Amino acid sequence: MNYQYQGEAQTGEAPRQTDELGLPESIDKKKKRRRPGLSVWKWIFFILFILYFVITAYRIPLFIQLGEYLIVEHKPQKADLIVCLGGPGVGNSLAAVDVYQKGLAPYIFKAKELKPDGLDYLKTKIEDYPTAFDLFTMIAEGFGIPSEAILSPDKRVGSTIEEANLVRTFVLDKGYTSIIVVTSLMHSRRAYLTFRRVFKDSEVKIISLPSHYQQFNPKDWWKNRAYTKELIIEYQKLIYYKFKYRI
C-alpha cells in the first residue's frame, strides 16, 4: 500500500476513480453517452419502417381520401345567383349552364380575368380573338341563355380570393341572400372555404355545385399524370390559403 501511494505521489497524478466494475469513470461515462444515441436511431428506423408498411399497405385508400377531400358538393337548391369561377373554361361554363337551365337561379355572375401578356397586341392583329369571358358568353348564349342573365362587372380578378371579394361586393349591393358556386371538382373545397371566409360576417348562404364535366376521379386520379400534377398544386394552394387567408 505504501509503495503504490508513493508511486502515485511521485508522478503527480491523482488516483483515478473507478465504478463498481473497476472501469475508470471517464470510460464508463463515454459508454453511457453512446447508448441513448443508438437507442434514438433504433426508434427512428422502427418508426420509418412502420410508416413504410402503412403507406405500402394502405396507399390506395389514402390516395382516394386525398382526392375525395378536395371535393365539396352540396344538394342542388335554389339561390339568387350562380357564380361561375375561372379555371377550366369549358367545364365550368357548361356546369353553370346546367344549373341555370334547371331553374336554380335567374342570373349567372362571371368575373373577367386579368389580361394575359400580349393580349392587347394580339387584338390589333386578330380583332375577334376570344378571351376567357368571351368564350363563356359564347357557350352560354349558344345554349339559349339570354345576355341579360349574364352579369359581369368591369373589374378584373386574378385569383380565387379576388373573385370572392368581388362577388361579395356585388351580392351585398344587390341584397342577395344565397349563391351557387360553380368550379372544378378539385378546386371546390378551396373555393367553398374561401367564399365562406369572405362572407363570414353576412347571412349569405354558399352552395357548392362543382362541375362534373371535369374527368377527375378521386378513385384513380394517380393514374393520370395531369391530374396528379394538378392535385399536388391544389394542395399547395390550399395550404397557402389556410395560412394566408385563414380559410
H-helix segments, 12-84:
25-69
pLDDT of residue 48: 82
Domain boundaries, the chain: 81-244
Residue 99 identity (one-letter amino acid): V
pLDDT of residue 91: 95
pLDDT of residue 23: 52
Query: Right CATH number for 81-244 from 3.40.50.620, 1.10.3720.10, 3.40.50.2000, 3.40.50.720?
Result: 3.40.50.620
What is the rounded distance in angstroms from the CA atom of residue 123 to the CA atom of residue 128?
7
Cα angle 96, 216, 245; round to 5: 70
pLDDT in 10s for each residue of the chain, 247 residues: 444 444 444 455 555 555 555 555 555 555 555 555 667 787 888 788 787 777 777 788 999 999 999 999 999 999 999 999 998 889 999 999 999 999 999 999 999 999 889 988 998 899 888 889 999 999 999 999 999 999 999 999 999 999 999 999 999 999 999 999 999 999 999 999 999 999 999 999 999 999 999 889 999 999 999 999 999 999 999 999 999 999 9
